[in-house]
């Protein structure tokens, strides 16, 4: 399970908004000075994301939580986002070239149509009600806030 720490920023009934801060693990990598991914991580590091979740848990603003995304959901969403458009593109090219014998410009055009069809499929599947629940992270744990003797909150 992929886990991330977040903070509750708003509560509206059973709906909560959780803020996460994107941090990169590039600082611990030995190849960070020569890696392009490390440069991109410097630009996007510390960026705040907001996630809306439906939960039956009683949460209040400023609660710290650990969000989890099951590995199966991560794999399925990765295939949906990357595999489906690529599969649609390849199928469109095969159909245009092998079955219809189109010339090269028509095969290239059909590849674009296949890619757009794949993106449309991703959009339709991701907007369906069941898919939204399948790919939604869950609250794994609530991190209690402890009051110190001086009156400061300690997480």
3-state secondary structure of 141: strand
Question: Which pTM value belongs to this model?
Answer: 0.60
Is pLDDT larger for residue 116 or for residue 12? 116
CB 4 within 8 A of CB 48: no
Handedness of CA 34, 38, 39, 40 (dihedral sign): positive
- pLDDT bin (cut points 50, 70, 90) of residue 87 is very high
Tokens representing residue 112 in the block: 């674009």
Question: Which pLDDT tens digit goes with each residue over 2-57?
Answer: 888 888 888 888 888 888 876 655 555 665 566 655 555 565 555 678 888 888 88
Q: How far apart are CA 6 and CA 9, in angstroms?
A: 9
User: What is the 8-class DSSP label of residue 25?
Assistant: S
What is the predicted pLDDT for the residue at 91? Answer: 95
- Backbone phi and psi for residue 83, each to the nearest 5 degrees, phi listed first: -75, -45
Q: Tokens standing for 59?
A: 């949460």
Contact in structure between 145 and 153 (CB atoms under 8 Å): yes
Residue 68: C-alpha distances to residues 14, 141, 154 (Å):
18, 9, 23
Residue 137, pLDDT above cutoff 70: yes
CA distances from 65 to 21, 114, 148 (A): 13, 41, 20
pLDDT for the residue 97: 87
More confident residue, 146 or 7: 7
């Amino acid at each position: 399970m992929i886990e991330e720490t977040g903070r509750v920023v708003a509560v509206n009934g059973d709906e909560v908004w959780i803020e996460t801060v994107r941090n990169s693990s590039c600082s611990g990598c030995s190849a960070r000075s020569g890696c392009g991914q490390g440069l991109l991580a410097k630009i996007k590091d510390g960026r705040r994301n907001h996630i809306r979740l439906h939960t039956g848990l009683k949460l209040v603003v400023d609660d710290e939580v650990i969000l989890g995304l099951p590995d199966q959901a991560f794999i399925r969403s990765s295939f949906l986002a990357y595999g489906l458009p690529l599969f649609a593109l390849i199928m469109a090219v095969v159909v245009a070239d092998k079955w219809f014998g189109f010339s090269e410009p028509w095969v290239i055009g059909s590849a674009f149509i296949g890619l757009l069809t794949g993106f449309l499929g991703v959009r339709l599947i991701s907007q369906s009600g069941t898919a939204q629940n399948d790919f939604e992270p869950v609250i794994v744990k609530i991190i209690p806030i402890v009051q110190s003797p001086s009156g400061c909150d300690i997480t």
